[in-house]
Structure 1
Amino acid sequence: MLQHTTMDTPAGPLTLVAGAAGAVRAAGFTTDVDALCALMHPSLREPVRPVDDLGRITDAVRAYLRGDLTAIDAIRTEQRTRGPFLTHAWQVMREIKPGAPVTYTAFADMAGRPAAVRGAAAACARNPVALFTPCHRVLRTDGSLGGYRWGLDVKRWLLDHERAA
């Protein structure tokens, strides 16, 4: 059975969904657990129940919010997709360092497919594990924010937080 909790953050409510093994399967700046769970690959969906705390997962988010930006790196994620590129792109995305955002073009290159800029953008758009798989660290070629499922205000706050820390 999956567990979920919602935390208050300066960027807004952050809902986390984790499996029994302690890996984050979905995370987003929303309180809508059903919509968040719908972002997961169907093979990862299970009944979900609320809990007050997810232990080391919520501890890592609190540490990140206090300025320890690498605290979330130790948290495992469980993401699946039908195509190998998205899975690989999500792994590569986790290597983008806080305070050092990259462009979609650079991200495509990092993922080993320099011509797949649209694929890189799709990896960001389809990412079900916001914050832990940091799609907010990918920007347009001109350095502007681009899109973000949870809103540009949230993306801007995350980038500013990481730059300041």
Structure 2
Amino acid sequence: MTTTPLRWAGTDTPDGRFTAIFDVDGTVYASGWTDDPAYLETLIAPALRTDEIVEGDGADVITAVDDYYSGDLAAPSRIAVTQQSGPFLTSAWAALREVPAGPPVTYTRLAELAGNAAAVRGAASCCARNAAALFVPCHRVVRSDGTLGGFRYGLDVKRSLLDREAAA
């Protein structure tokens, strides 16, 4: 744990209030469709947490979210993210960042992209443990039969994001 405070900021989106926690350099640690930074703080790996989270302007981070909703679907991928876990989850989060907007991938495909085709459950765990929603686009992963599976912020938000990306 460090003593340098993390910052948080939020913006209104068509899918509800979106909040992000980030450092002074604009690297995202946690984000999602909530107005509660304390909730997001619980998603950050303990080793990455700080003593304090303060409200900040988050200009680049919030602009990327607003740009996404204005049609620049790649905007969140240009923002740095930090998450911490074991090797497979770290690889899977990195692979997710490379999945473009458009047709979603399956958990099986995500496991392949992360370097371990047999780790389909690990791919699902990667999505479930993702703290940086939208910036690490776990909403772009579906079950092999095309159904949505889970999403921390609800299937309505996941469907909205996939529909927005399919329409672009």
Fold match (TM-score > 0.5):
yes
Q: What residue identity is the alignment partner of 1:57?
A: V
| Residue in structure 2 matched with residue 152 of structure 1 by the alignment | 155
CA contact (8 A) 2:91 2:115 kept: no
Give the aligned CA root-mean-square deviation in angstroms. Answer: 0.9
- After TM superposition, the structure 1 = structure 2 runs for residues 4-153 of structure 1, keeping only pairs within 5 Å, are 4-46=8-50, 47-51=52-56, 53-81=57-85, 83-153=86-156
| Superposed displacement of residue 100, structure 1 | 2.3
Q: What are the Cα deviations for residues 11-34 of structure 1, in whole angstroms up to 9, with x where unaligned?
A: 111111001121000001112211
CA contact (8 A) 2:27 2:82 kept: yes
SS at match of 1:94: helix
In structure 1, runs of 5+ residues without a counterpart are none
In structure 2, runs of 5+ residues without a counterpart are none
| Superposed displacement of residue 135, structure 1 | 0.2
Q: What are the Cα deviations for residues 14-55 of structure 1, in whole angstroms up to 9, with x where unaligned?
A: 11100112100000111221121111111211110113x311
Q: What are the Cα deviations for residues 64-110 of structure 1, in whole angstroms up to 9, with x where unaligned?
A: 110011111110001111x1110111000101110121001111111
In structure 2, what is the Cα distance between the partners aligned to 1:70 and 1:148? 20
CA contact (8 A) 2:22 2:29 kept: yes
| Superposed displacement of residue 162, structure 1 | 0.8
Task: Give the share of equivalent positions with the same residue, in percent.
Answer: 51
In structure 2, what is the Cα distance between the partners aligned to 1:100 and 1:75? 22
Q: What residue identity is the alignment partner of 2:43?
A: L
In structure 1, what is the Cα distance between the partners aligned to 2:77 and 2:112? 22
